[in-house]
Amino acid sequence: MEKTRGNSALQVTVEGAIIVAFAMALTYLPHTTGVSAVEFSYGLVPVTVFGFRRGFGPATLAGLTWGMLDLILRGLGNGGVLNPLQGFIEYFIAFALIGIAGLGSNLVQNNLRHKKNVIIPVILFGSLGVLGKYFMHFIAGGYYWGAYAPKGMNPWMWSLIVNGGSAVANIILVIVISLLLSSSFKRLLLPK
């Protein structure tokens, strides 16, 4: 009984709900990078950290839930949805794929427990989650967002610049913050 305190399904669900609310709230902060169309997505940080803490399943569900919220609260209103399939790819699949970071959960936690370095697994699995999300945006960008490319530019080149640029910016963000938290706020990544 005592052993599972703080690790019940209910606890994980409540944590996930808090993470999703936090990720969604962060999207209302300014997130331009200086290069137009390349954007930070700060919510990737809490969802990735939640992945390290609770693993693939909970993080995938959290990402999916954040995506559904983002679709309703922002996507449908600001022109982010061009058609149903594109909306599904960019708000359901893409956001759910952030959960891939959770595949590094055991590695990250074992290293933390044994006072070993977490740099490699944080970089590897943090990057994979962000890359999974932006790979979906890259695909959708090539197929559906070509009309927004500068005149004469190939849609796939445009999509690679926009979504590849966002992926790089967000990978750096996620890795830097996750590594800072893993040393200064270990409890966040390592549950009881």
- 96-130 burial: b if 16+ Cβ within 10 Å, else e: bbbbbbbbbbebbbebbeeeeebeebbbebbbbbb
From 9-17, 100-108, 113-121, 139-147, span contacting ligand 218 (CB under 6 A): 139-147
Q: Nearest to ligand 218 by Cβ — which residue?
A: 141
Query: Exactly one of 158, 173, 174, 181 binds ligand 218 (CB under 6 A); which one?
Result: 158
d(CA 168, CA 170): 6
Closest distance to ligand 218 from the beta carbon of 39 (Å): 7
Spatial contact of 27 and 76, defined as CB atoms under 8 Å apart: no
Print the binding letters for residues 8-47 with ligand 218: x by CB under 6 A, - otherwise: ----------------------------------------
Of 20, 7, 73, 17, residue with least CA distance to 46: 20
Query: Exactly one of 48, 163, 170, 178 binds ligand 218 (CB under 6 A); which one?
Result: 163
How many residues bind ligand 218, per CB under 6 A?
Answer: 13
DSSP string, 50-73: HHHHH-HHHHHHHHHHHHHHHIII
d(CA 1, CA 133): 38
d(CA 55, CA 63): 12
Under the criterion CB under 6 A, does residue 52 sit at the interface with ligand 218?
Answer: no
- 98 versus 122: smaller Cβ distance to ligand 218: 98
Closest distance to ligand 218 from the beta carbon of 45 (Å): 15
Closest distance to ligand 218 from the beta carbon of 29 (Å): 13
From 51-59, 111-119, 121-129, 140-148, span contacting ligand 218 (CB under 6 A): 140-148
- 43-61 burial: b if 16+ Cβ within 10 Å, else e: bbbbbbbbbbbbbbebbbb
Query: Exactly one of 6, 77, 113, 148 binds ligand 218 (CB under 6 A); which one?
Result: 148
Footprint of ligand 218 (CB under 6 A): 70, 75, 80, 90, 137, 140-141, 145, 148, 158-159, 162-163
